[in-house]
A and B are shown apart, each in its own frame.
Chain A
C-alpha cells in the first residue's frame, strides 16, 4: 500500500433522520489531484471528517496509507488537511498557530518557517490571525496542512474567498503537490474550480457517489452534442425539429437548444419548413454540464422545496 493513498470503503453515516453518507466508496491515488465535488450538503465535508477521524462512521472505514487515522502516531506527517480556514484563535499570530501544530507533531520551528515561506505569508507571520482576510486564512490553513510534509493532502473548499491571484497560486500549488507524488483530495461545490487541475473527479450527491472517473473518461462517456440556434419563430422551429427526431428546449436567453440532431440535419429541416433562423452553433459538453447532469437529481434543495410548500 502506497503511503500516499486514501481508501474510503462503504461509509454510511446518519445524522438524525438525514442519511449523510450512504455507501461512499472511492480511492485517492498518489501523484494525482482528485476532485471531490458535489452540491452543498452532499456529504463532502462529512466524508473528509470521517477520513480525519473527527467523525465516526456508522459503517464502513477510511484508510490513509492503509492505516486508520487514529492509529497514526503523528498524523500530520501522514495527512495534511484544511477543513475550515476560520478555525483559528484570533489573538494568536499566524506563526504561533503553526508553532503549536508543529509541537504536536514533534516538529521543530524550522518547519514553521518553511511552510510560512511556502504559502507566502512570511510578511504576515507575526500578525494576529484574527485580522487576516479569508484568502490569507486559506493560505495559513494550507501552511498548517503542509506542516508535516505529508504524502496525503486534503483540502476542503480551498478556493473559498481567494482573490484571482490566490486562485492561480492555489491551482499551481495543487499541481505541484501532485507532481511530487502526493495524493491530493480537493473538495469543491464548483466544477469550474477543478477544471484543468483535477486528474480524477468523484461526484457525490445526497451521500452517494454518482461518478468516479478520470476527467477524460468523464467527458467522453457523456458526449452530448447539442445544436443551438436563434429564430424569431421559436414555437414553429421547435415543432419542426421535434418532428425530425430531435429534442428541443428553449433556453433562458430565448435561443433554441436541440439535441439528437446534428447541425446539418437541423439546417435542412428548418430550411425545408421555411423557418427563419441564424447563429447555428454546435456545443459539446463541459465538465460543468456533466456535473449538473449528474447532480441535478441528487442535489439537496430542501430549503427551496420547503418554501414552495408554504407558498
Chain B
C-alpha cells in the first residue's frame, strides 16, 4: 500500500460561515458605542439590583420597642435548605439498636379563624379542621435541635401513612385517614445508621414502607411520638394556623431507653421561631392512651412562613430589565443601522447567503448579550443577597447549582432576547420600530406582570416572552407542603428551563420570519 497524494479539496462550507462570523464580529467590535453599551448595561444591572435590595429592611423588635435588623430563626436542614421544624413530641433516649411501636387511634385538628400572619394571641378562636399534611407518628433523630436529621413514620390528615426523613424525602404507606375503629399501627426500627419504617392495620401483619440511612447517627438518639399540623391555605390565602391532636396507645420501645419515663417537648414553637404555630402543644394521659397536641411542620420551608420571598435573585429583575432594554437597543442597531445607511447591500453583496448573515449576527449579538448578562448577574446576585442579609431580611438559602442556574439562565435570557430583537430588526428594517417592538414584546409583559394583579398575570409568564424570567426562580417548593405555589406568592408558573423555552420559541419564530423575509425581498 503506497501513500497516495490526496488532491486539495475545496474548503468546506463551514469555512465560509466562519468568515461571515468573523466579519460580523469585526463589525460589532469596531463601533465604540456598541462595545460601551453592554458595559453600561451590566453596570446598570448591578446598581439597580443594589438599590432594590437596599430598599428592603427587616427588623426584629423587642417588647421594649427596640428594633434591630434581623429575622425569625429559620432552621437549616442537613442539605443546607431552609426547613420548618416545629412540633410537639413525647419521648426518651434510645441507645443502640431498637424498635419503637405505636398505634394511632385518633387524629383530629382545629384551624384558627384569624389569618396566619396575625399574632399568636389573636389565633385562639378556632373551628374544626385538620390539614391534609397534619402528622402524627414516631420519629428518631440525633437530637431535637431544629434542623437536625431525622427519620419518621406517621399517619397524616389526608395523605395516608408516610415515611419521611431529612425533610425532603417522602414515601407513601397505607392510604386512608385515622378514624374511629380504623387505627394505624406504626413502627420504626433502628439498626446501626439505618432506620426502617413499617405500618400495619392490626399490629400483627407489618409492611415495610421505607428506610432512611442517616449517616453518622450517634449511638444514643432521641426517639418518641410526635404531632404537628401546618399552616392551612384552604380557607384563607394568607394561611391559618392549625393544631392537631392525636391519641396513641400500645406505645412500646424495645431497646435500651433512658429515662424510662417519657417527657414532652415543644420544639420550634417559641416567639423567636419563624413557623406560625397555634400554641406550643402538650400532652396528657387518658387511661391507656397518650393524647398529644402539636402545631407546626417538619418539612422544607417554603414562603408560607413569615419569611417574605427574598431569594438570591429576588432583587435582580428590575436591574435586569434595565440592562435588557440597553441590550435590545444595541441588538436592534446591529442590523437596522445597516439598513439605514444602505450598508446592508454591501453586506449582502459580500455574503449572498443572507441566512448566514442573520445567523452570524445572531451568534455575535447573542454572545455579547450572554457575556454581559452573565457578568452582571454574577456580580449582582451575590451583592443583592448580601445587602438583603445585611438589612436583616431572610434570604432563602440557594445551593451553588441554583445560583449557577440563575446566572446562566439570566445570561441565556439576555442572549435569546437579543437574538429575538435582532430578528425583529431584520423584519422591520427600522431602528425605532424594532426597538419599540422589541421592548413591547420582550420587556413590557414582564413590567405589566411585575406591577399587575389578577388571573391574567400568570398567563403572561406562561405564554409571552416574560416566561423567560422563570430562570430567576429560586424559591423552594415541596410536594410535602400544601401551599399555593402561585405567581401572587412569588412562584413563576413555569419551571425555569420551560420558561426559557417559551422565550426561545418566540425568538425562533422571529428568527424564522426574518430568514424568510430576508430571502424573499430585495436588499
Contact = CB atoms under 8 A, between A and B. Distances in A.
A105 B522 contact: no
A178 to B, nearest CB: 21
A56 interface: yes
B103 to A, nearest CB: 80
B404 interface: no
Contacts of B11: 73, 106
Contact of B352 (A72, A99, A103): A72
B334 to A, nearest CB: 10
B352 to A, nearest CB: 4
Interface in B1-23: 10-11, 15-16, 19-20, 22-23
Nearest to B26: A100
B23 A88 contact: no
Contacts of A70: 352-353
A282 to B, nearest CB: 47
B32 A91 contact: yes
A56 B352 CA distance: 12
A101 B350 contact: yes
Contacts of A105: 19, 350
B345 interface: yes
Interface string B332-355: 000001100111011111111100
A69 B352 CA distance: 8
Given A74-B19, A84-B342, A89-B343, A96 B30 contact: yes
B522 A88 contact: no
Contact of B345 (A54, A73, A90): A54
What are the 3 A-B residue pairs with the smallest beta carbon separation, nearest first? Answer: A104-B23, A96-B30, A100-B26
Given A81-B349, A100-B27, A101-B350, 4 more contacts: A83-B345, A92-B31, A100-B23, A100-B30
Contact of B346 (A69, A74, A101, A103): A101
B523 interface: yes
Contacts of B345: 49, 52, 54, 83-84, 87
Interface string A44-85: 000001001111100000000000011011111001010110
Given A70-B353, A92-B30, A100-B30, A54 B348 contact: yes
Contacts of B522: 49, 54-56
B409 to A, nearest CB: 32
Q: Which of A84, A89, A97 has the most CB of B within 10 A?
A: A89
B63 interface: no
Nearest to A85: B342
A88 B351 CA distance: 16
A159 B121 CA distance: 92
B19 A54 contact: no
* B interface residue count range (under 10 / 10 to 19 / 20 to 34 / 35 or more): 20 to 34
A73 B16 CA distance: 7
A113 B26 CA distance: 16
A5 interface: no
A140 to B, nearest CB: 11
B33 interface: yes
Contacts of B342: 83-84, 86-87
* A interface residue count range (under 10 / 10 to 19 / 20 to 34 / 35 or more): 35 or more
Contacts of A52: 345, 349
Contact of B351 (A49, A97, A104): A104
A144 interface: yes
Nearest to B31: A91
A91 B349 CA distance: 21
Interface in B243-281: none
Interface in A87-138: 87-93, 96-97, 99-101, 103-106
A103 B343 contact: no
Interface of B: 10-11, 15-16, 19-20, 22-27, 30-33, 337-338, 341-343, 345-353, 522-523
Contacts of A74: 16, 19
Given A86-B341, A93-B30, A96-B30, A53 B23 contact: no
A55 B523 contact: yes
Nearest to B30: A96
Contacts of A56: 522
Contact of B15 (A49, A87, A89, A106): A106
Contact of B349 (A54, A73, A97): A54
A145 B330 CA distance: 28
A86 B340 CA distance: 10
B26 A103 contact: yes
B19 to A, nearest CB: 4
B523 to A, nearest CB: 4
Nearest to B348: A54
Nearest to A69: B352
Nearest to B29: A96
B158 to A, nearest CB: 66
Given A53-B348, A72-B352, A96-B30, A87 B343 contact: yes
A309 B27 CA distance: 49
Contact of B23 (A89, A90, A103): A103
A83 B343 CA distance: 10
Interface string A177-219: 0000000000000000000000000000000000000000000
Contacts of A144: 346
A89 B26 contact: no
A106 B17 CA distance: 10
A73 B353 CA distance: 10
A23 to B, nearest CB: 19
Contacts of A87: 341-343, 345-346
A251 B338 CA distance: 49
Nearest to A93: B30
Contacts of A91: 31-33
A56 B348 CA distance: 13
Contact of B26 (A49, A75, A88, A99): A99
Nearest to A54: B523
B346 A89 contact: no
6 contacts: A53-B349, A54-B349, A55-B523, A83-B342, A89-B31, A144-B346
Contacts of A90: 341
Given A101-B23, A103-B22, A104-B19, A88 B341 contact: yes
